[in-house]
Amino acid sequence: MNFIELENGSVTTPQGFRASGVTAGLKPSGQPDLALLVSDVPAEAAGAFTSNLFAAAPVEWDRKVLRGGAPIRAVVVNSGVANACTGQQGAADAQAMAAYTAERLGILASEVLVSSTGVIGKLLPMDIIRHGIDLAVKGLSVDGGEDAAKAIMTTDTVQKRVAVEFELSGKTVRIGAMTKGAGMIAPQMVLCRNRPKQATMLSYFTTDAAIGREALRAALGVALNQSFNRIIVDGDTSTNDTMVILANGMAGNDPIVEDTPEWYQFVEALRFCATKLAQAMVLDGEGVTKFVEINVSGTVDDASARQIAEAIARSPLCKTAWYGADANWGRILCAAGYSKIPFKPAQVNLDFDDVPVVRNGLAVENADEEAQTAVLKKRSFQVNLQVGTGPGRFVLWTCDLSHEYVNINADYRT
């Protein structure tokens, strides 16, 4: 690795970023519910957003702003209410949230990105939002990354943040990030460019690297596809999924140019942060007790391997068996079998970590079921499925389905 991970890193670890997290009053629990992130100088920005048809109003706002191409100064995020399925009033509220933040910061509304997460179909209580923005602006601090990471949480049980540091052209460059999301997690985000590409996970990256917008967008795309776009908690793709990066150039490095060694180094560091947060999101998923890495190989192409991995990751029968640490491998083969990807059952091999389970479509002879079960009792394990000899492969991160998941979601709104 050409970078080091920093202790206690956050979105305010890179130079020139301040943040805050406050209690505006959106959550009945009284927990923090509004976060603000500000770059001291105009920053290049790139974003990726949900592919759900019911893209939330803040997502539509962000797309419009990012397509405009102008630099970004701030991101304001509320939790508790998603401002999705809220029509013209929702669009007006998202814009008003940007405008009010801009006014308080003395910048333009078009320099402010907006995110919301929470219940779908409710209008934002704008008085509370404005009150929260007032508090958040007052609270801005170079130590505010932790507060911001707390304020964007919904059913998350832990805050999720990271930062790394590396050298570029003799300068110290940093990337910081925070994310939230525990349910409605099966991001299929697409980069925002001319066509909207689109995840409710919210994820914000900051860097003090100097990098042009196109190079930044390309880097975000690579990191996205190696991280958030390969996790599935419940399989529901949200209306609000958002991944944004701001690059303010304050590190003073020579601007990073796409496809150069410096760009690859930046991408590697960015990808590390994104992957770490994506995995943390799965492990903190609603009711999750097991982190499961699904490795599918031997298909004609990677897309086929992905389709098989997704069928397994979405299967309630596989997920409940993992919860019960039941080495019921038949359910895994069954899910692969209905994935609509063709393969030869007699060529299928399956291992739990490195413990053989299936060879050539059949239970291994003298199967060590104790060893199989021991793997499934771990908090984190691999399901390694080989369905042929083709070059295709895909790695996906998912989780089990527990009683607690049902508890959380049978009555989310009360």
Instruction: State the residues that interact with a copy of itself by CB under 8 A.
Output: 51-55, 82, 84-87, 119-122, 183-184, 186, 188, 234-239, 314-317, 320-321, 323-324, 326, 328-331, 333-338, 342-343, 345-346, 358, 360-363, 401-403, 405-407, 409-414
Which ranges in 152-260 belong to alpha helices (H)? 213-225
The whole-angstrom separation of Cα 394 and Cα 198 is 21
The minimum distance between CB 413 and a copy of itself, in angstroms, equals 6
The minimum distance between CB 391 and a copy of itself, in angstroms, equals 20
C-alpha distances in Å from residue 343, one per residue of 257, 300, 308, 347, 348: 42, 9, 10, 8, 8
Residue type, 168: L
The minimum distance between CB 406 and a copy of itself, in angstroms, equals 5
The whole-angstrom separation of Cα 114 and Cα 411 is 27
Give the chain's end-to-end CA distance (angstroms, integer). Answer: 46
CB closer to a copy of itself out of 69 and 346: 346
Q: Using DSSP, how many helices (H) and how many strands (E) does the chain show?
A: 11, 16
Q: Is 213 exposed, middle or buried (0-12, 13-18, 19+ CB in 10 A)?
A: middle
CB closer to a copy of itself out of 347 and 380: 347
The minimum distance between CB 247 and a copy of itself, in angstroms, equals 30
Q: For the chain, what is the radius of gyration of the CA atoms?
A: 22
Residues with catalytic function: 200
Q: Find the angle CA(211)-CA(212)-CA(214) to the nearest 5 degrees.
A: 125
Residue type, 226: Q
219 CB neighbour count, 10 Å cutoff: 28
CB closer to a copy of itself out of 11 and 311: 311
Tokens of 16: 């020139």
Residue 96 belongs to what H/E stretch? Answer: helix 87-105
CB closer to a copy of itself out of 68 and 324: 324
CB closer to a copy of itself out of 203 and 239: 239
Tokens of 354: 């490195």
328 CB neighbour count, 10 Å cutoff: 15
CB closer to a copy of itself out of 211 and 311: 311
Tokens of 17: 């970023």
